[in-house]
A and B are shown apart, each in its own frame.
Chain A
Amino acid sequence: MDEKVIILTGNPNTGKTTIFNALTGLHQKTGNWPGVTVEVKEGYFTYKDTRFKVIDLPGTYSLTSFTEDERIARNILVREKVDAVVVIADSSNLERNLYLVTLLLELEQKIVVALNMYDVAEEKGLTVDVENLEKILGIRFVKTVGNRKTGIDALSEVIYEAIHHGEKIESATARISYGREMEEEISSIAKYVMQISAPYPSRFFAVRLIEKDTDFIKLAREKNVYERIRKNLDAIDARFPDVEDYLIEKRYGFIHGIAKECISVKNLLEDKIELTNRLDRIFTHSFFGGIIFLFLIWLTFNIVFSWGGPFTMLLQKFFSFLAVNADKILHLLHFPEWSTSLICDGILHGVGSVLVFLPNIFLLFFIFSALEDSGYMARAAFVTDRLMHKIGLHGKSAIPMILGFGCNVPAIMATRTLETKKDRIVTILALPFMSCSARLPVYLLFAGIFFRKHQGSILFSLYFIGLVLGLLTARLFKTLCFKGETTPIIMELPPYHAPDVRNMLISAWERAYLFLRKAGTSIFAGVVIIWFLSYFPLSAGYAGENSFTGIIGRTIAPVLKPAGFGFWQAGVALLSGLVAKELVVGTLGTVLGGEQSMVAALSGLFTPVSAYAFMLMTLLYIPCIATVAIIRHEAGTRWAVIATLWSLFAGWLAAVLFYQLFSPL
């Protein structure tokens, strides 16, 4: 079958993910792009005789080298063999969305624009003259309503047509002009870069150079053409003092002209706008905004706990049932002793005690995606901006930090939207203290045993302490290593709308799946290693004090003693938590003989105070190996080492202080 590659792009908040989900269903995976750590998703769908590979880019406003996302989007657009670019545009914001289209036109690719959320635009009284738009720009437009799956077939058809019998952009009746003088300059620079501009068209390359785009200047330098065009660029600078703004304004001028001809506005839906305004005034209120934010996060964790609880119990019963019966059956079948132990004590207990938290993780991301989808997350960034600024962080640090509650790894990747390196590093250093969902199983276990009546509040307190320590860390490193102002926050605020359940389910499933995969791979491997260390030497008895785990644990134990958990089981659990923090529970499950006996054993080993100290330690000490690796990738080895040592120290100190202050003498 014929395979074609299409790229989905568009501004943030245009319903791009919804269209991607509608096109590809569940046939998607996170793509592996060399040198790209931002999540780029790939999916497939078949239409007529053609199989389409769809690449979903992170949302961007532009194609400069201003933020990492834009740079990545641009690189993928030219790197891969692309048959068509599909721009998902918000129909009620068409002028702003067409800006990206004008940049893509300069890349000279086949473009299809989905006028998405067309129903909302119609409600607002907007009508778009699609035929006229197509004639003027020489590209195809399709009206879609992603969340109702309207226009998806039409979109597939138009993509199919554009690729198989597409007309050329040349048929366009209007082209962007930057003014006579500027156009002359562009063509003369384009001539110089003609030989070296590939894979970019020479005009595109020339315009980027005039815009002083650092990536392109570097490219031109490497190819030894920069010196030759330098005097042209200087001349342009002299004549156009604000050349970047000049070019942007010209593009918007071009779009505005088209919009006047093709978009008609009748009457605006005042009620709905008024509602958005009112909600904004509440959610971003300088006092109540913060309270609402805290309340929503607190509510989320309570829901995760109370709704997830029954399912967790069911899974727990299921796994102990499995372990007991597997043990019986394997004995009956005369399996060797060690293999029975590996399967029952090691794998079923270890992996089982981690997997029981699947419902909680699913719920957490289900709710998070609702907050994101509804438009609230963008407001939350503003609510936190003032505080963030005082601390030396950027309002945009808030979104990675909220993501950090899910998993630190994508959160650290998400810091790429921060514009300066210093803002990024400060945020990255604070991030590991955001309590990711891998730490949740540990809290759930201990809070369930020692703080049965106040589980929600205990959870909340840990998340809160993590946040505060993260912020203190940022403040500390900001004053120590990065002096100077943080860049101010500017963000588009999407209109509020009811979240789409299908998207929420897909997003929750994605995270749950990642968790399952981790359980099947690194957690599984970790559990097997722990089992091995516990089983040998045989004379010590399984997971006994004199087994290898016991010995390792005993070595660490003295250091942990001032924190109230100076016994070897805790030492081993913390050590294995380096692989993945869920393993803290998995290991306790293994060394204490499965969920049932673990609960009893833990209530003997810990007091409520030392249990809380242990939770603090789990919260703060070294992020998992994956997180350290991503810090190294994003910020360099030096910062990865600093982050590791710092968090280890902070975790130990917090646990010790807490225990010493609150333990009854």
Chain B
Amino acid sequence: MRKDTIMIPLNKAGTGKYRIVNVGPVGFGSKRRLTTLGIFTGDEIEVTKPAPGPVIFEKGGTRIGIGQGMAMHIMVEKIQ
């Protein structure tokens, strides 16, 4: 089903809509912090400000910023 899409880390993603595929080894607490803010694997997000610098994305009216180092470990795929 997802043959034609490629997974990329969030820090390589340009502006646009993506789906979170996997949250990698970001250390205790960081993943928890994302889920507390309502961000889960499988969610659709829209990157509004790509790297370099912090990555900013939006989900359901909430705007969240994460450091580039952490964005590296969040794998996303582009939604056409």
Residues of A whose CB lies within 8 Å of any CB of B are 61-62, 66, 92-93, 95-96, 99, 124, 244-245, 248-249, 252, 276-277, 280-281, 284-286, 289, 378-379, 382-383, 385-386, 389, 395, 419-420, 485, 487-495
Contacts and interface: CB of A to CB of B under 8 A. Distances in A.
A420 B26 CA distance: 14
B40 A252 contact: yes
A66 B28 CA distance: 11
B16 to A, nearest CB: 12
B30 interface: yes
B60 to A, nearest CB: 6
A492 B29 contact: no
A280 B48 contact: yes
B64 interface: yes
A284 B37 contact: no
B42 to A, nearest CB: 10
Contacts of B34: 490
Interface-central residue, B51, B53, B60, by most chain A CB under 10 Å: B53
24 contacts: A93-B61, A96-B37, A96-B62, A124-B61, A245-B31, A245-B32, A252-B40, A284-B56, A286-B53, A289-B53, A379-B65, A382-B53, A382-B65, A386-B67, A488-B69, A489-B54, A489-B65, A489-B67, A489-B70, A490-B37, A490-B67, A491-B64, A493-B64, A493-B65
Contacts of B65: 284, 378-379, 382, 489-493
Nearest to B29: A419
A386 B36 CA distance: 24
Contacts of B29: 66, 419-420, 487
Contact of B56 (A245, A280, A385): A280
A217 to B, nearest CB: 16
Contacts of A92: 61
B63 A493 contact: yes
Contacts of B38: 95-96, 99, 252
The interface size bin for chain B is 20 to 34
Contact of B64 (A289, A379, A492): A492
A96 B52 CA distance: 28
B5 interface: no
Nearest to A100: B36
A249 B69 CA distance: 25
Contacts of A492: 37, 62-65
Contacts of A389: 67, 69
A490 B53 contact: no
B79 interface: no
Contacts of A420: 29
A488 B73 CA distance: 11
A286 B51 CA distance: 8
Q: Give the interface SS of chain A, mostly helix, strand, loop or mixed.
A: helix
Tell me whether chain B's interface is mostly helix, strand or loop, or mixed.
mixed
Contacts of A485: 27
A485 B69 CA distance: 11
Contacts of B49: 277, 280-281, 284
B3 interface: no
A244 B40 CA distance: 12
Interface string B10-22: 0000000000000
Contacts of B48: 276-277, 280-281
Given A389-B69, A489-B70, 20 more contacts: A62-B36, A93-B60, A95-B60, A96-B38, A96-B60, A124-B61, A244-B35, A249-B35, A281-B49, A285-B53, A379-B65, A386-B53, A386-B67, A395-B67, A488-B30, A488-B70, A489-B65, A489-B67, A490-B30, A490-B70
B61 A490 contact: no
Contacts of A249: 35, 40
Contacts of B40: 245, 249, 252
A489 B63 contact: no
Contacts of A244: 32, 35
Nearest to B66: A490
A264 to B, nearest CB: 14
B67 A488 contact: yes
Contacts of B61: 92-93, 124
A277 B55 CA distance: 12
B79 to A, nearest CB: 18
B63 A284 contact: no
Q: Top 3 A-B pairs ranked by shortest CB distance?
A: A488-B70, A286-B53, A382-B54
A248 B37 CA distance: 10
B27 A487 contact: yes
A489 B32 CA distance: 13
Contacts of A491: 64-66
Contact of A284 (B35, B53, B64): B53
Kindly name the residue among A490, A491, A494 whose own CB sees the greatest number of chain B CB atoms within 10 A: A490
Contacts of B2: none
Contacts of B36: 61-62, 66, 99, 248
A441 to B, nearest CB: 37
Contact of A248 (B26, B30, B35, B51): B35
A286 B52 contact: yes
Given A389-B67, A488-B27, A489-B67, A93 B62 contact: yes
Given A245-B31, A286-B53, A385-B54, A61 B37 contact: yes
A279 B62 CA distance: 16
- Max chain A C-beta neighbours (<10 A), residue from B30, B36, B37, B68: B36
B65 to A, nearest CB: 5
A419 B38 CA distance: 19
B49 to A, nearest CB: 5
B25 to A, nearest CB: 11
A258 to B, nearest CB: 14
A420 B28 CA distance: 10
A480 B61 CA distance: 43
A281 B70 CA distance: 19
Contacts of A280: 48-49, 56, 63
